[in-house]
Chains A and B, each alone.
Chain A
Amino acid sequence: EAQVTQNPRYLITVTGKKLTVTCSQNMNHEYMSWYRQDPGLGLRQIYYSMNVEVTDKGDVPEGYKVSRKEKRNFPLILESPSPNQTSLYFCASSNIGPVSGVTGELFFGEGSRLTVL
């Protein structure tokens, strides 16, 4: 079954304690991305990756890191989480167009709800 898997689904942590949210897809997609969803702000892109070892900042990258060492995995790292990073996080993957850009359906994980105290 084609899917994007995120873990953990729910996490409560404290300020400053490093955490990683994992994301894995089984569709051999080149494009992967992280979004955060906050009330009234919709989905905002944190980081995206067009392929292995290629990552780029989205609209709200501050406080986050990513890596793309393998095609299937795209972990989101919060080195020193702060309360303003309390949010619902989505990982997504897709095919890309002839050169770049998302042209296909974006497949989303189920979301990871993070609370930073």
Chain B
Amino acid sequence: AQKVTQAQTEISVVEKEDVTLDCVYETRDTTYYLFWYKQPPSGELVFLIRRNSFDEQNEISGRYSWNFQKSTSSFNFTITASQVVDSAVYFCALSEGIYTGANSKLTFGKGITLSVRP
């Protein structure tokens, strides 16, 4: 069963539009971590945010914000007033087995390709 689902595969917006990237995860662990990474056209993977399962507070960093909802197993990412430089592939990831030692790996979603047009 897929543990991290990024149902949107490609999104195209015009600059200055707001855009939300969805991430739904599945785990039986009570302690887990969630991450978002960005992969710009240059190919490197850039860490954006980490959130543990006990912290449901939403986070805002400049134009970026994250909405973590355990009730719906979602960790969505919103870019406000998008810019061309936001064009990239965005990955959501889940880390489990923090205390159990079982299946302790980081599982990535398939990624969402965001294109921001001028």
A contact set with B: CB distance below 8 Å? 33, 35, 40-45, 48, 50, 56, 58, 88, 90, 92, 94, 96-108, 110-111
Q: Which of B50, B98, B106 contacts A45 (CB 8 A)?
A: B106
A103 touches B98 (CB 8 A): yes
B91 at the interface (CB under 8 A from A): yes
Q: Which residues of chain A come closer than 8 Å to B108, judged between CB atoms?
A: 35, 42-45
Interface residues on B, range: 20 to 34
Known: A45-B105, A45-B107, A50-B104. A106 touches B47 (CB 8 A): yes
13 pairs across A/B with beta carbons < 8 Å? A35-B108, A42-B110, A44-B108, A58-B105, A97-B98, A98-B98, A101-B33, A101-B97, A101-B104, A103-B98, A107-B47, A108-B45, A110-B44
B105 touches A33 (CB 8 A): yes
B101 at the interface (CB under 8 A from A): yes
Give the interface SS of chain B, mostly helix, strand, loop or mixed.
loop
Give the interface SS of chain A, mostly helix, strand, loop or mixed.
strand
Q: Which residues of chain B come closer than 8 Å to A103, judged between CB atoms?
A: 33, 50, 52, 95, 98
B43 at the interface (CB under 8 A from A): yes
Q: Which of A44, A48, A105 contacts B50 (CB 8 A)?
A: A105
CB distance from B111 to the nearest CB of A (A): 5
B contact set with A: CB distance below 8 Å? 6, 9, 32-33, 35, 37, 43-45, 47, 50, 52, 91, 93, 95-101, 104-111
Q: Which of A44, A58, A88, A97 is packed against the most chain B CB atoms within 10 Å?
A: A97
CB distance from A49 to the nearest CB of B (A): 11
Q: Which residues of chain A come closer than 8 Å to B104, judged between CB atoms?
A: 50, 96, 100-102
CB distance from B15 to the nearest CB of A (A): 26
Instruction: List 6 additional A-B contacts (Cβ < 8 Å) besides A45-B107, A111-B44.
Output: A45-B105, A99-B100, A100-B99, A100-B100, A102-B104, A108-B44
Q: Which residues of chain B come closer than 8 Å to A45, judged between CB atoms?
A: 105-108
Q: Give complex CA distance A48, B105 in Å.
A: 8
B98 touches A42 (CB 8 A): no
Q: Which of A33, A98, A106 contacts B99 (CB 8 A)?
A: A98
Q: Which residues of chain A come closer than 8 Å to B97, judged between CB atoms?
A: 100-101
Q: Which residues of chain B come closer than 8 Å to A48, judged between CB atoms?
A: 105
